Structure 1
Amino acid sequence: MRYEKHKKRKSRKWLSILLVLLVLVGGTAGYAWYQYKQGVNQSLEKINNQENKGDVSNEVYTFEGKKDQYGATNILLLGSDAREGEKVSRADTIMIAHYNKDKGTYKLTSIMRDIYVSIPGKGKHKINSAFNGGPELMRKTIKENFDIDLQYYAIVDFEGFVQLIDEAFPKGVEINVEKRMEEYIEVPLDPGLQRLNGEQMLSFVRFRHDAIGDFGRVKRQQQALQAIGEQLSSIQTIPKLPKLTGVVTPYINTNMDTGDILFMSKDFLSKDRGNIETFRIPIDKGYADKSVKGEGDVLELDLELNKKAFHQFLTQ
C-alpha cells in the first residue's frame, strides 16, 4: 500500500515536471515565432516604402541538390546584378558556404564571375552567365567543372544584407578600410579602422574600381563576412536569431526552410565557433588572363589544379 502511494507521488512529480517543460518549450517557440514574424513585417514595410523594390522570395526554382561526397552541406549563394532593360541575368556574386556538422566547420569559397568554364548545354562562357538558367544551371556548372554537389541555394538581394547588418549591429561592424573608396558606389568610404553601418558595408563589399579590380572585391567580401561572423559570435546573438532570420527572409529566395537556417546559425554561433575559413577560385598561379570574342576579358583556368586545391580545402 505504502509502495503504491509512493509510486503515485513519484508519477505526479514527473507529470508536473513534464508539464512545466512543455509550457517552457511552448512559450519559447511562441516567442521565437513572434520575433520571426516581427522581423519579416519590418522588412516588408521597408520594401513597400521603396521604389522598384519587391519581395524576391516568391519565385520558385527547380534545384536538384544533395550533400557532397564528404557528407557536408554546401549552399550556393548568389547575388544578382540584373539591370533594367537587360534580357540576361548574371550573378554579381557567386559563393559556396560549406557546413560540416560532424567536424563543426564553416568554410566559404568565392568563385570569381569571370572564370571561363563549360556550362552544360551552352558551351564555354563566363560562369556568371550560368545564372541566366537559374540556380539549377549554376549548380550543374559547378558540379561539372569542380565535381562538388550543392544541397541548397540562396539568391540574395543586397538590400537584405544592409538590413541584417543594421539589425544585428546597431553600432556598426568594425572593419579596416584599406583605401579611399568612391567610384561607382553609393556611399564613399574613407580609409582606416572604423564601424560601418549596412549601407557603408555594402559599398565596402561592392567596390572594385581599383588596380586589382574583382580580385580586390572578392577579398573584401571574404574579409567582411569573416568580421561579421567573428563579431556575431562575440555578442549575445542567439536570442536575436529568429528576428534576424525574419528580417532577411523577404530579401532571399532559397530552398532552405526556416528551421534549417536557424539550426545552422545557432550551431555557428555556439560552442566558441564563429570562425570562417575562406578560399578563392581561381587560386594564385591557377589561371591566365585571356580575351575571348563575344565574352571580353576572361580568366582561363588550369581546371585540374583549381579542382584539386578546392577539394583539399574542403577536406582539410
Structure 2
Amino acid sequence: MRLLFRKLSYKTKKVENSQMRNERRVIKRKRKKVRWGRVFLLLFILIGGILGIYLYSQYKSGVEQSRKSVGDKQDVYEFKGKQDANGSTNILILGSDATGRDKPRADTIMIGSYNKSKGTYKLVSVMRDSYVDIPGHGKNKINAAFAYGGPELLRKTIKNNFDVDLQYYAVVDFEGFVKLMDEAFPNGVKVDVEKRMEENIDVTIEPGVQQLDGEHLLGYVRFRQDAVGDFGRVERQQKVIKDVGNQLVSISTVPKLPKLVGVVMPYVNTNMGTGDMLYIAKGFVSKDNRNIETMRIPVNGSFEDKRVSGSGLVLDIDQEVNKAELQGFLAK
C-alpha cells in the first residue's frame, strides 16, 4: 500500500509540475505578446505623430508662401445655407478676380455636389448670362447677384429660381488657381488647345497639344471670344476641372496635397471648415472611380438669346424646364 501511495503521489506531483510549467510558458507568451503589442502601439503613435507634424508643416509652408502675395484680409460674407433635401452637400463655387477690387465679379458660377451614401460627385455650371429674377433687384444676369449682395444673395437667387439648397460657398480668386497649378504641376498641365486664344485673357495660347502653366491654363478656361462664346468656356472649364482633379490624387501628387491646400487657402473665401473639406475630399481620394458628372444650366433647347435694356445680351431661359432638369440631375 505504501509503495502504491508513493507511486500515486509521485505521479500526482509530476502532473502538477507539468501543469505549472505549462502555465508558466503561457504566462511568458502572454507577457511577450503584451510587450510586443506595446512596442507596436508606441511605434504607431510615434510614426503617426511624425506624419501629422510633417503634414501640418507642409500645410503651413503653403499658407505662408501664398500669404506673402495676398496677405490675410478677406471679405466677411453672411451665408444662410442648409443641406439639400436629398442628403447631398451642395457648394456654391465662384471664380472671381477679387484681388484689388471693391466689388469683384463672379466670372464663374458652379454648384459642386457630393452625396456620401451614393458616392457621387457632381458639377453644375450656371452660365453667368442666364436671365433670372434676383430677390430685391428684379430680373438681371445671374452673376449680378454676387455684385449686389455677395454669395448669400446668389444663394437666394438659385433657391428662388431653381429650388436648390446650398450649404456652403467658396469664392476662389483666380490668382489662387494659378498658384495651385504651378505648385502642383511644375511642368504644366497637358492640354490639347483647339484654337489660337489671346483676346481678353492677358496671354497668347497657340493651338495644339502642349503643357500649360497656371497663367496660360487660366487663360484657356476663361477664353470666350469666339463663335461659341461662354458655351465653349463652360465646356473647357468642366473638362479641365475633371482632368486636374484626377491628376491631383495621383501617386505623384498625393504627398503634395497638404502643401497644395495651404497654397490655395489664402485665395479661398469660404464658410467650410477644415473638417468639412476633409469629409468631402476623403471619399474622392480613396475612390477607385473618381467620375465627376457634369451639367450645364441652361440645358440645350431651353433658352434663347435676347437683348435687354440695361443688361445687354442675355440668355432668356425657360425657368421651369431648367429647374426640373437641375433637381433631377442632383437627385439621381
- TM-score for both structures, normalised by structure 1: 0.90
Greater displacement, 231-240 / 69-78: 231-240
Aligned-partner Cα distance in 2 for 1:167–1:25: 26
Q: 1:23 aligns with which of 42, 46, 53?
A: 46
**Which residue is equivalent to 2:320?**
304
Please report how far the alpha carbon of residue 18 of structure 1 lies from its aligned counterpart in structure 2 after TM superposition: 2.4
Residue 173 in structure 1 maps to residue 162 in structure 2? no
Aligned CA distance change for structure 1 residues 87 and 22 (closer, same or farther; 3 Å): closer
Deviations 1:92-127 (A, max 9, x none): 110111112222221111001111111122222211
Q: Distance in 2 between matches of 1:273 and 1:283?
A: 26
SS state at 1:75 partner: strand
Letter in 1 for 2:115: N
1:95 aligns with 2:118: no
Note the C-alpha offset of 1:301: 1.2
- Aligned equivalents of 1:280 and 1:56: distance in 2? 34
Consecutive unaligned residues in structure 2, runs of 5 or more: 1-22
Matches within 5 A, 1:117-132: 117-132=132-147
Structural mapping, 1:187-266, within 5 Å: 187-266=203-282
1:279 aligns with 2:279: no
Aligned residue for 1:50? Answer: none
Structure of higher CA gyration radius: 2
For 1:32 and 1:259, locate their aligned partners in 2 and report how far apart those are by CA, in whole Å.
15
| 8 A Cα contact 2:133 2:140, kept in partner | yes
Is it true that 1:37 corresponds to 2:60 in the alignment?
yes
Aligned partners of 1:242 and 1:262 also within 8 Å = no
Structure 1's 75 and 56: CA in aligned 2 closer, same or farther, altered over 3 A?
farther
Any idea what the Cα deviations from partners look like across 1:231-271, whole Å, max 9, x if unmatched? 33444322211101001011111111233324433432332
| SS of structure 1 residue aligned to 2:95 | strand
Give 1:41's aligned amino acid. Answer: E
Output one character per residue of 1:174-216: Cα deviation in whole Å (capped at 9) or x when no partner.
1111111011111111111221110110110111111121111
Q: CA deviation at 1:87?
A: 6.6
Query: Which SS does the other structure have where 1:68 is aligned?
Result: coil
- In the alignment, what sits opposite 2:127? 112
Per-residue deviation, 1:16: 2.8
Indicate yes or no: 2:270 matched with 1:270. Answer: no
What's the TM-score, normalizing by structure 2? 0.86
Structural mapping, 1:77-96, within 5 Å: 77-81=93-97, 88-96=103-111
Q: Give the AA of the match of 1:70.
A: N
Question: Matched residues in 1 for 2:236 and 2:165: separation?
Answer: 26
Amino acid at match of 1:24: I
Q: Distance in 2 between matches of 1:199 and 1:275?
A: 26
Q: Does the 8 Å contact 1:180/1:191 carry over to 2? A: yes
Comparing 6-15 and 177-186, the one that deviates more: 6-15
Q: Distance in 2 between matches of 1:82 and 1:101?
A: 32
**Runs of 5+ unmatched residues, structure 1:** 48-53
Aligned partners of 1:83, 1:253: CA distance in 2, in Å?
A: 12
Give 1:312's aligned amino acid: G
By how many angstroms is 1:24 displaced?
1.8
Distance 1:40 1:88, change over 3 A: closer
**Aligned partner of 1:285: which letter?**
G
Structure 2 contact 109–125 (Cα < 8 Å) conserved: yes
Moved more, 291-300 or 5-14: 5-14
- Partner of 2:143: helix, strand, or coil? helix
Distance in 2 of aligned mates of 1:87 and 1:282: 29
Q: Distance in 2 between matches of 1:21 and 1:170?
A: 34
Contact 1:56 1:253 in 2 (8 A): no
The 1:173/1:83 distance shift into structure 2, 3 A limit, reads closer
Query: Once superposed, what is the RMSD of the aligned Cα atoms?
Result: 2.1
Cα separation, 1, equivalents of 2:259 and 2:123: 24
Counterpart contact for 2:97–2:173, Cα < 8 Å: no
Percent identical among aligned pairs is 58
Does the residue aligned with 1:28 lie in a helix, a strand or coil? helix
Q: Which digits, 9 at most, give the CA deviation of each residue in 1:51-73, with x for residues without a partner?
A: xxx34763221212222111111
Report the Cα distance in structure 2 between the residues aligned to 1:88 and 1:155, rounded to whole angstroms: 13
Deviation string 1:30-84 (CA, Å, 9 cap, x unpaired) is 1110000111111123x1xxxxxx3476322121222211111111111224697
SS at match of 1:278: strand
Distance 2:274 2:327 in 1: 29
| Distance 1:260-1:266 versus aligned 2 partners, 3 A rule | same
